[in-house]
Structures are given as structure tokens and as C-alpha cells.
Amino acid sequence: MDMAIKVSGLRRSFGEVEAVAGVDLEVGHGEIFAFLGPNGAGKTTTIEILEGFGERDAGEVEVLGVDPAQATSDWRQRVGIVMQESPGEQELTVREVMELYAGLYKAPRGVDETLAQVGLDAEAAAKIAATLSGGQRRRLDVALALVGDPELIFLDEPTTGFDPAARRDAWKMLDCLRELGKTIFLTTHYMEEAERLADRIAVIAGGRIIDEGTPATIGHRDLAASEIIFALPAGIGEGDLPEDLLALAQPARRDGRIELHSAAPLADLGRLGSWADGRGLEVTELEVHRPTLEDVYLRLTAEAAGVAGANGNPIGEEVA
């Protein structure tokens, strides 16, 4: 795959703290790539270097075929940036803000076309920017990043503060960007968002990439055991289960239900059903769960915490 971003051995220190400690990553053209990590993990420092706003101590970085540290204005025309907080020109209308930004580019997209792309209609375009709702403001932020028709867009926490309905509307908007062939480098603290949008995910902790993969495979999620949780009739307990199911049982739950961890949930559910039917028992309150992306993320970052602490950069310490 042709790469939009290539990073090898990236390092950056602030005093004695190594915020980025040898990051390697690649992002393909047209890919939505989610970059996840706790506060202080090195996300912001890494992204600022990729955007050409931060210095590095060591390593090779190539974004759209150019070292961002040597970027020209022509390169910047190819990159769009949506920051977490971008107050913009509050006293102008949405259309005026768009026209102002469009004038900065050599070959901008049409203002009306771009506003429509992000779901802002003529009524919204006539509003003073300061009067926009949070969701509309975020749509304007994306429109401003898009108006130059960039190849690559950096999206920092695009739906922070959104209610669930607004968040899903924003996801549809980002799906449209995917259809345009844009490469998107996404940071978010919402695991559901990363799972819904990303083609691939990297998790950074303690300044290092600790895992990378698709939403389905990162952290060996596809191989992890599923939880089977259920209740049995009064007088029937865990010890009455057949041996093959009893071997999967987990420590007692406070709600009294039985929990099994299964690598083959469909087969084990079949065995549970056959056993219950053969005894005329009713299995109730049945739930089956695969590990969520949040489960995997929390496990990966927790496992990395001790290693990061040994290197003098505890996870959760605010570095960047």
C-alpha cells in the first residue's frame, strides 16, 4: 500500500522526560487511522511533529512524501487540521468565515459544496459563528479543514461534548470524507467512535506504540474469550454443570449468575442448552459478550503502565 504517513524511530524529549520514545507507524492513503492513548502518552507531541509544528530529536518522518520539518506552503495546502478547540472568527457569519479561509488556498473547493458536505445548510451558513451550537461549530471546523481540498486531515477529538445523536451524525459526515478518498488521522477518547470509523488503530502509551491492528484484531481481540453469563433455577448451582462447562467457570458474581469464559461460545452455548434441556431446566438472564475495544484498550494500557513507569514516564503523567 502507498503510504500517506511513514514514521520510523521518532523520538522527542522535554528535559529528562522522553515524551516520544521510538514511535514507528504507517498510514495508507484513503485510510482512517485512529491514534489512541491516555493523557501524557505522547499523542499530542507525535501529532504536532506530523503536522510540522513540533520539533523532533531523532527519527524519520514523511507525510505526503515530505518531511514536515521542511514543509513548504504547497505542502500545507495538501493538509487539513481540525483541532480540539478552534474558536475561529466568532463575529463573522459561517459563509464569511468559509470565504475567508477559501481565499488562503490556490484551488479551494466551493464554499456551498463544502458546507453541504458537512451538513450545514443555507440557514446555518447565514448564522454568526458565535451563535452556533456545539455540533454546528464542529461541522464548521471540519468544513474549514476541507475547503482547501486536502489529501490528509488531522482530526483531534472531533465529537467531544456531543450528545449521542450528534455524534452519530458526525460519524456519517466522516463516512462521506472516506468516500472522497481522504486520509484521516483521528484521535479520540471514545472507543465506540474508533471502532465505528477506523480502518486501523494504534495505541500509544509511555511514548511507545504498544499495539496496532484493525478494530477486530488489536490486542488479539479476535482470539479473546467471550463471556457467557446466565442464571439457573433455584436449587441448581454451578457445581451441577457438566465438567467441560464447569472448567470454564469464573469466580462467583455478586448478582448470583454464573459466568463462563469461552473460546468457542457457539459450541459451549449448544452444550449448555443440551444439558439444560436434558434436565428440564430453564436457563434465564442469558448474555454473551465479546471483549469490547474499550476492554482491550484498558488492558493494553494497564499492561504498559509498569514498563512506562520504569522508563521515568508514568502513564497518566501530563507530558503531551
Give pLDDT tens digits for 146-190: 999 999 999 998 887 778 888 888 898 888 888 889 999 999 999
Q: In what order do the strands lie in the sheet with 284-289?
A: 258-262, 226-231, 284-289
| CB neighbour list of residue 1: distance below 8 Å, 6 or more residues apart | 28, 29
Kindly tell me if the per-residue pLDDT of 52 is higher than 60.
Answer: yes
State which H helix or E strand residue 259 sits in: strand 258-262
pTM for the structure as a whole: 0.83
Residue 316 has pLDDT above 60, yes or no: no
Instruction: Answer whether residue 308 shows pLDDT above 80.
Output: no
What number of other Cβ atoms are within 10 A of residue 91's Cβ?
10
Structural contact between residues 64 and 154, judged by C-beta atoms closer than 8 angstroms: no
pLDDT surpassing 90 at residue 85: no
**Contact assessment for residue 141 and residue 81, using Cβ atoms and an 8 Å cutoff:** no
Above 70 in pLDDT, residue 138?
yes
Average pLDDT over residues 137-151: 90
User: Above 60 in pLDDT, residue 88?
Assistant: yes
Contact status, residue 155 vs residue 118, Cβ threshold 8 Å: no
pLDDT tens per residue, range 273-296: 999 999 999 999 999 999 999 999
Q: In what order do the strands lie in the sheet with 152-156?
A: 79-82, 152-156, 183-187, 32-36, 200-205, 208-213
Which stretches within the chain are classed as H helix? Answer: 43-50, 73-76, 94-102, 111-117, 122-125, 134-146, 164-179, 191-197, 243-246, 265-278, 293-310
pLDDT at 87: 62
Which of the pair, 161 or 44, is modelled with greater confidence?
A: 44
The three-state secondary structure class of 202 is: strand
Helix (H, G, I), strand (E, B) or coil at 245: helix
